Structure 1
Amino acid sequence: MDGGRWPLAGLIFYLLALGLAREQEDNQKVQFEAAFQGQCGHGSPCEQLCYELHDGMYECDCNEGFILREDGYSCYEMNSTVSPPSLEDLKLDIIYQKDAVMDAVESSFPNASGAARGYDSNEIPQIDANSSALTAEKIIFTTVGPRLEQKLTSDGSNVLRVTLPISTARPCPLDCGPGGGCRSDAEGLPSKCLCPLGRGGDSCEKVMEIQSPRFTGYSWLAFSALRGAYKHVQLSLELRPEAYDGIFFLTGERDDMAGDFMALLLHQGFVEFRFDCGSGIGVVRSDETVLLNQWNHVSLYRHRWDAWLQLNNGKHIQGRSKGLFSRITFREPLFIGGPGNTTGLDEKLPVTKGLKGCIRHLEVNDHVYKFALEPSGESIKGYGIEECTADRCSRVPCQHGGKCLTSETSAVCLCPLGFSGDLCEIRVDLQVPSFNGSSHLRYRGLAESALTWLDLEITFKPTTPDGLVIYNGHRMDGTGDFMGLYLNDGFVEFAYDLGTGAAVIRSNDRVELSEWHEVRLSRTGRLAILTVDNQLPVEVVAPGAFTQLSLPQNLYLGGVPNFGVVSPQVRVRSAFVGCIQKVQINGRTVAILAEALGGANVDNCPHPCVARPCGEDGECVPEMDYFTCRCKPGYRDHLCSRGPPSFHGVDSYYHLGDSTTVEAISSDPLDVNVRFKVSYSSGLLLWASTGSGFVSLGLEDGALALKFSSRDNEEQICVVHNSTTVHDGLWHRIKAVRDGSTGLLIVDNGPAITRQSIKIRSSRRPFPQPEADGLYLGGMPRKLLNVATDYKSGIKGCVADLVINADYHLQVINQKGVRHNVGECEL
């Protein structure tokens, strides 16, 4: 195009330097953006494309594969050997890291067209001062620390070198391995290694591949400089912030923020997009703040001067940059999660730290980035990156208000009271609470009620030797007065502080795991006495002169939400695992579930009360492995309903043959728990067909007998309990267990009897009559009794309740079944 045809009076040609070369040489090259006054048309100087701007201006552009020359209107082909790009253009593929030392090894390109190809992140294309030949430099990074500033210098040869100042920061006390640095304790935090991308662990000793990065505020990831984005950028990302301030997307023309740039950041909780096309900063700010510790979606669209921003599903906020120029030159790396090596942030951005939180999706101009280190991912450098464990919660959709908690390897749901299961999907009728190590129940604190004296009784069954059973403190930071009962290596310990120093009292012996234990603690003033089961009491006196205990904070049972509230004088940092069935404080029994203000991850302990044996009108009160029923006002009898069935000995029985009952009694092991009273020394109490065999309970000359057939049905096994009188007209409870060829009998919480005799069975076997299947209680039909058993009659007495395998309760009062000669028990 003939430049002589341009009307000089009608043309204003603006030349603006968009960036200075990093090397301060006399022959430095300058990049320009040109805007012309007027309109596109016959008189425009544009060689290929022309775009009309605002304010009566227009600018030139080039087709794909061409680059605009410095005159602002002509174009040259990218793969042409004529007019190759300047040294500054060729350096745009270099990734600079502060505190990095680079050594160069020279190699040659076959021809100058190599300057137009994409370079490896470790190659620096260069032009010799006396030749147009191109060379490439191989870079080796040696990291010293995370925050040193780099400078580019030239030694007069054709080798580009980077020299770095020595850090004046406090030396790291940790060995963080090659490429690692550390965050000092300048902010009152303990020193911590910040590892290079691809490494992790306390000393950067682990090899790890990042899928969803978590940033600490000192971290960053670097990708290659944006391509084809100088006019148009469409961006989508998801972030989970843990703080309201931080840079999470930054790129531009120079590493000192002196040229064009584009940044996304959090400022006081709002998302801000700041960009400069060369003549002034534009700012777009969200209307709403981000949601902390939750995933937020950010969408951004920028075209030339104009931009709009959307946070989550909120309003589209629009903005515009200043000045005439509409292009952004991208030469620096794209930094994610932090500012990387960029300096000069104070002058352009309201925050200078990086993001604290996670990013799990990043898409720019339809390209979805992979966060892992090359070659498995696209990151070319990174620092202080952790794997975002919170992202695991996206795959664990906790229900019914459950909260997701993460560890290094997994994510679990913390379920509210009344729900359990991996996703809190199971509704639980809580009766006797069990704790799994992540559980707790919360109550009002003891406040002033324990000032002078404290009487505490707890019945629990632990399954691990360590764990906090009960705790109440004075302050949320664990300081001040407190009292705590816990297990430490199997010993029961009680610790307390009245304000002048802690005292710890410890049981004489370890407690047995998976067994019920009764613990009593009595404290008066400074003196405390601890008694565990039948062990000898132990006592301790608290130091100092104070005698009162003030506990205004919440009381916790089975664990705490955060051990930061627990005094460091408590010598365990784990929660209780096991069951707790009784808590009594200062003579008052605590309704463990009814009085709880809240809790998490509490399930049911295997216990007869879970089957609700006392009906809807009574309360099941656990007593170790057994229970008693407490009736509501207006109801009589322990079952809180009509009286339990009574049996008369001859042809008097209760038969259940439904499939649920048959399935329950056919299990192996089989656990039968029955409550009864009789006045005669002989009679069949219970008989059950178990498929190929049988189980029976009865009295023989005053002794309780458990009989059952072996697996091959060739032997009959009998366990006799004759150390307790049960035919005295009083209520008794029996626990009978058949486990393979072993039997066990327990009467009224007494010792377990396993003595047994074995005999070869006679020709009488479990009979084939269909009516014999199922469960008989109190006796059997006369014609079956003589065939199947050695008993002459059933019992003369009452049966109040029956629980099979701890969870299947037969409500013998209202249960559907065949009743024959069954009356109502007189109390």
Structure 2
Amino acid sequence: MLLLLPPTSLRTQDTFGPILIGGLEEQATAGAASGLVGCVRELQVNGRELSIVGEATRGRNVENCNVPVCERRPCGHGGTCVSDAENWFCECTPGRHGKLCQFEACVEDPCGHGATCVRRGRGGEGGAAGPVCLCPFGRTGPLCDDPIHVTVPSFDGTDEFGFTSFLAYPAVPGLDDAFEFLVRFTLANNSSALRDNLIFFAGQKGKGLDGDDFLALGLEGGRVVYRYNLGSGTASLFSDPVDTRLHMHTIHLGRTLTRGWLQVDGQRNVSGASPGQLSGLNVFSQLYVGGLNEFTPALLPDGARFPQSFQGNVLDENALFNEVRMSLKPATTRHSQLVRVVT
């Protein structure tokens, strides 16, 4: 296997020759068996991700590497899973849509202002069938026609239809070597909100493949759990049981290279390290708070598969990089499904 990419500037003034991936050109010409046997999913040079296939100038003996997600048969309702070396998707049958073909398409779309229309099938909990408008951040009402100024975001978990509340933030820069997060929140209750609930997640391109880098915070069995994977194994840090007598809870967490730490309310500080040699967190997706778009826990990386989304209010969220505190603001380019109403 051999791929040739164009010369790349690795220093300010120096330009090196072509980048060879998988072997040397003379080995490929001679038909030698040495060189890489396997798949290359990603290549970065000085923080810039190169398109392994798209930027290659020539190559030899390179075949397609199937993404293993399709082996799980994730597509529902007759959908077909299609994968290539970079990604996977479901080809849905007519009348279905969504990442896993889980939504029934609306015959007519009554929703406004960029809202997402999904159809509730036969009705649930006594409800009638019909379209459901998933309102973008800042809109509410039956058809998402009414503006709303959200000051304290409230998340109501995952409902019986599989929809979830969430906020999507721009990809947070500077997570590679070190970071700190401070989150203050209240819980909707002390039962279902403390079982297995995702608080926030950022993953490598959001593909949900095992082995991908990710950062996740959640509630599990009454404890706060903080997990991250730098590519060579998952670190898991657990707090003591959350004191349900407190109205407001504070989570302070961070990481420097492989070592991470977690402190919840007035509890002791918990620390640990991720296994393996890799020490940089490489995530390219947006930061999701409260849940995810089309919440599908089975497709999250192993260690981040919380079956429910967050139930409660987030009062404050900040990130600290190089001693500079940054208040996180919702992305304006992505919808945040905070209000869902049925017409």
The 1:296–1:172 alpha-carbon spacing in structure 2 relative to 1, beyond 3 Å, is farther
Residue 338 (1) aligns with residue 278 (2)? no
Residue 86 (1) aligns with residue 54 (2)? no
- 1:235-276 deviation line (CA, Å, top 9, x unaligned): 001122222232111002132332110100111221110111
User: Which amino acid in the other structure matches residue 187 of structure 2?
Assistant: P
Q: Which residue of 2 aligns with 1:198?
A: 138
Question: CA contact under 8 A between 1:274 and 1:283: conserved in structure 2?
Answer: yes
Which of 216, 221, 244 is equivalent to 1:291?
A: 244
Q: TM (normalized to structure 1)? A: 0.27
- 1:672-707 deviation line (CA, Å, top 9, x unaligned): xxxxxxxxxxxxxxxxxxxxxxxxxxxxxxxxxxxx
1:329 is displaced (CA, Å) by 0.4
- 1:786-824 deviation line (CA, Å, top 9, x unaligned): xxxxxxxxxxxxxxxxxxxxxxxxxxxxxxxxxxxxxxx
Q: Which residue of 2 aligns with 1:224?
A: 170
Which of 184, 197, 203 is equivalent to 1:252?
A: 203
Question: CA contact under 8 A between 1:247 and 1:265: conserved in structure 2?
Answer: yes
Larger Rg: 1
The 1:353–1:225 alpha-carbon spacing in structure 2 relative to 1, beyond 3 Å, is same
Q: Give the Cα separation in 1 of the matches to 2:203 and 2:180.
A: 16
Residue 240 (1) aligns with residue 186 (2)? yes
1:227 is displaced (CA, Å) by 1.2
Residue 352 (1) aligns with residue 316 (2)? no
Secondary structure of the corresponding residue to residue 383 of structure 1? coil
1:333 is displaced (CA, Å) by 1.1
Comparing 286-295 with 164-173, greater Cα deviation is found at 164-173
Q: Which residue of 1 aligns with 2:151?
A: 211
The 1:187–1:265 alpha-carbon spacing in structure 2 relative to 1, beyond 3 Å, is farther
The 1:250–1:187 alpha-carbon spacing in structure 2 relative to 1, beyond 3 Å, is farther
1:314 is displaced (CA, Å) by 1.7
Secondary structure of the corresponding residue to residue 382 of structure 1? coil
Q: Which residue of 1 aligns with 2:266?
A: 313
- 1:335-390 deviation line (CA, Å, top 9, x unaligned): 1111335752374335232112211211112211124x53xxxxx3233215xxxx
The 1:210–1:338 alpha-carbon spacing in structure 2 relative to 1, beyond 3 Å, is same
Gaps of 5+ in 1: 1-14, 16-25, 33-68, 70-75, 79-83, 89-125, 132-147, 155-161, 375-379, 387-827
User: Which amino acid in the other structure matches residue 248 of structure 1?
Assistant: I
Q: CA RMSD in A?
A: 3.9
The 1:293–1:182 alpha-carbon spacing in structure 2 relative to 1, beyond 3 Å, is farther
Secondary structure of the corresponding residue to residue 331 of structure 1? coil
The 1:193–1:312 alpha-carbon spacing in structure 2 relative to 1, beyond 3 Å, is farther
Q: TM (normalized to structure 2)? A: 0.61
Secondary structure of the corresponding residue to residue 219 of structure 1? coil
Which of 125, 130, 147 is equivalent to 1:188?
A: 125
User: Which amino acid in the other structure matches residue 142 of structure 2?
Assistant: D
Question: CA contact under 8 A between 1:219 and 1:382: conserved in structure 2?
Answer: no
The 1:208–1:317 alpha-carbon spacing in structure 2 relative to 1, beyond 3 Å, is same
Identity rate of aligned residues, in percent?
Answer: 22
Which of 362, 370, 395 is equivalent to 2:329?
A: 370
Residue 30 (1) aligns with residue 29 (2)? no
How do 1:501-540 residues align onto structure 2 when only pairs under 5 Å count? none
- 1:743-764 deviation line (CA, Å, top 9, x unaligned): xxxxxxxxxxxxxxxxxxxxxx
Q: Which residue of 1 aligns with 2:29?
A: none
The 1:342–1:194 alpha-carbon spacing in structure 2 relative to 1, beyond 3 Å, is closer
The 1:171–1:127 alpha-carbon spacing in structure 2 relative to 1, beyond 3 Å, is closer
User: Which amino acid in the other structure matches residue 326 of structure 2?
Assistant: H
Question: Aligned residues, how many?
Answer: 249
Question: CA contact under 8 A between 1:272 and 1:284: conserved in structure 2?
Answer: yes
Q: Give the Cα separation in 2 of the matches to 1:382 and 1:290.
A: 34
Q: Give the Cα separation in 1 of the matches to 2:91 and 2:272.
A: 39
1:194 is displaced (CA, Å) by 2.5
Gaps of 5+ in 2: 1-21, 23-37, 59-78, 158-163
1:179 is displaced (CA, Å) by 2.2
Q: Give the Cα separation in 1 of the matches to 2:81 and 2:151.
A: 29
User: Which amino acid in the other structure matches residue 150 of structure 2?
Assistant: I
Q: Give the Cα separation in 1 of the matches to 2:139 and 2:240.
A: 38
User: Which amino acid in the other structure matches residue 253 of structure 1?
Assistant: Q
